[in-house]
Structure 1
Amino acid sequence: MSAQMPVLKEPGRKRMGSRKLLSILLLLFMALLTVLFFNSSISKISEIQIEGNRFAAREEIGQAAAVVVGDAFFRTSSQAIEGRVMTLPQMEKVTVTKAFPGVVKITVKEYPVVAFELSAHGEMTALLSNGTSVNADNDQLLLVDKPVLSGWSDDDPVKEELTKQLGKMGTKQLSDLSEIIPIPSTAYPDRIVIYTRTKFEVITAVSVLPEKIEALNAVIETQEPGKITMLLADTYVPFHTESSENMDSNQKETTQ
């Protein structure tokens, strides 16, 4: 007796058409929302904040950043804006942060002022630690703790190197320097004379200044005012000794 084979049912067809339609509608909805978002005011830059600037004008920083109110908020990255602003010669560091919705904050740190210079026209110029010169008519009060450079030409490469060396000095060291004048020689084209607020006269050279600065500080802190020479050899002569020698010389001339 043969067994009867069971009847096999055909698998039901999945309703793929409705799922595809739902996916397409969802994608269209997301695309519509994206278009609406990027065309709305919420996706635009509504405010640009600039902080930390002293010598670079806000307009100058804004032009370098190349972003304005109304630009797309996500069009330009923070790193790209930082790179643009860093092209300004005054800038040591730039940080850009974005706060949604619409706020772009640019925080700058400019190179510090290490000296001042008075032009032939009476304009006060601030010299930054990277050699950059900026107008400083509103910062004349800072002359009390920064040296004044006198007798330098505008394109003197020694002056740029000098500002870099001054930038490496501590605040106390820098505040004691009153005036720096170039006195080049054949042996030392970068020779300078420094007058300090503690009444010392220092003859040295920009190229040897980094290795001589500690010894210079030691003399100024422990000795009475005098003339210091720091080149190939270091010498120190108190001013009262020079005065005595001059008096003795004058007396000898009188008696002869």
Structure 2
Amino acid sequence: MSAQMPVLKEPGRKRTGSRKLIIILFLLFIALLAVLFFNSSISKISEIQIDGTRFATKEEIGQAAAVAVGDAFFGTSSGTIEENIKTLPQVNQAKVTKVFPGVFKIAVEEFPVVAFELSDQGEMTALLSNGTSVSASNDQLLLVDKPVLSGWSPDDPIKAELTTQLGKIPAKQLSDLSEIIPFPSKAYPDRIVMFTRTKFEVITAVSVLPDKIEALNAVIETQEPGKITMLLADTYVPFQPESPENMDAEQKETTQ
């Protein structure tokens, strides 16, 4: 008796053709959406907000950033824009934040003002902690709480180093300095004379200023106005009170 052979089913054909078609249609759909998006207004910069500027104008920030309203929102990275803005001499740091859709927020941190300088023409300029000189408007001079530099040549390298050292001094101590003039010697080419608002005269050097500022503050807080020397050795001599004898001696000196 012969056994019947089971009927073999033909294997189903894989629908590879239809699957490929679906993938192609999906990719075309994505490409179409991308084209529509990048050609629409929501993919463009609609507003640029700039905060934190005092000496750099918003026009200067915008030109340095190299972006403008209407440019592609994703066209330039935030890091690249930040580096572009930091090329401005007034700018210490910059932070760019993108807020979709279309808003660029640029926060600028400028180098702090450490002194002012009066030019031969009578114009006041502000000196930043990195040595940059910028024009100071009248409203920025209403409360001059920084020292005024006088007697310095424009290209004096010691003046640039002085602004760097002044940037390291706390604001409270810096506000007590009223004037700084150069007073070089053979031993100390960077020697300076500082006058304080508390009526002290201080002879020191730019190179030792950061190390001496705490001791200077201690003398000013505990002693009467006088002359302070802070170089290799520190000395303090109080000013002599005015007396008829001193006034007569000064008058004789002026007439000789």
Task: Flag the 1:8–1:160 CA change in 2: closer, same or farther, 3 A.
Answer: same
Task: Flag the 1:223–1:91 CA change in 2: closer, same or farther, 3 A.
Answer: same
Question: What is aligned with 2:87?
Answer: 87
Secondary structure, in 3 states, of the residue corresponding to 1:208? helix
Q: Are 2:216 and 1:216 equivalent residues in the alignment? A: yes
Q: Are 2:20 and 1:20 equivalent residues in the alignment? A: yes
Q: Using the alignment, how far apart are the partners of 2:35 and 2:236 within structure 1? A: 77
Q: Are 2:80 and 1:102 equivalent residues in the alignment? A: no
Q: Can you list the C-alpha shifts for 1:146-204, whole angstroms capped at 9, x where unaligned?
A: 10000001111111111111111111101110000001111110000000000000011
Q: Using the alignment, how far apart are the partners of 1:140 and 1:238 within structure 2? A: 32
Deviation at 1:30, TM superposition (A): 1.1
Q: Using the alignment, how far apart are the partners of 1:15 and 1:165 within structure 2? A: 77
Question: What is aligned with 1:42?
Answer: 42
Question: What is aligned with 2:183?
Answer: 183
Question: What is aligned with 1:140?
Answer: 141
Q: Can you list the C-alpha shifts for 1:201-243, whole angstroms capped at 9, x where unaligned?
A: 00110011111111111110000000111111111111017x6
Question: What is aligned with 2:155?
Answer: 155
Q: Using the alignment, how far apart are the partners of 1:201 and 1:177 within structure 2? A: 10
Deviation at 1:13, TM superposition (A): 1.2
Question: What is aligned with 1:199?
Answer: 199
Task: Flag the 1:27–1:200 CA change in 2: closer, same or farther, 3 A.
Answer: same
Q: Can you list the C-alpha shifts for 1:41-92, whole angstroms capped at 9, x where unaligned?
A: 1101111111100000111000000001111100101111001001111111
Q: Are 2:31 and 1:31 equivalent residues in the alignment? A: yes
Q: Using the alignment, how far apart are the partners of 1:175 and 1:15 within structure 2? A: 82
Q: Using the alignment, how far apart are the partners of 1:45 and 1:190 within structure 2? A: 51
Q: Using the alignment, how far apart are the partners of 2:143 and 2:104 within structure 1? A: 32
Question: What is aligned with 1:238?
Answer: 238
Percent identical across equivalent pairs? 77
| Aligned residues of 1:226 and 1:237 also touching (Cα < 8 A) | yes
Secondary structure, in 3 states, of the residue corresponding to 1:83? helix
**Misfit runs of 4+, over 4 Å:** none
Question: What is aligned with 2:115?
Answer: 115
Deviation at 1:126, TM superposition (A): 0.2
Secondary structure, in 3 states, of the residue corresponding to 2:207? coil
Give me the TM-score of the superposition, normalised by structure 1. Answer: 0.93
Deviation at 1:9, TM superposition (A): 1.4
Deviation at 1:18, TM superposition (A): 2.1
Deviation at 1:249, TM superposition (A): 10
| Aligned residues of 1:123 and 1:137 also touching (Cα < 8 A) | no
Q: Using the alignment, how far apart are the partners of 2:229 and 2:247 within structure 1? A: 23
Q: Are 2:87 and 1:61 equivalent residues in the alignment? A: no
Task: Flag the 1:137–1:30 CA change in 2: closer, same or farther, 3 A.
Answer: same
| Aligned residues of 1:182 and 1:193 also touching (Cα < 8 A) | yes
Unpaired runs of 5+ residues, structure 1, are none
Equivalent position amino acid for 1:64 in 2? A
Question: What is aligned with 1:168?
Answer: 168
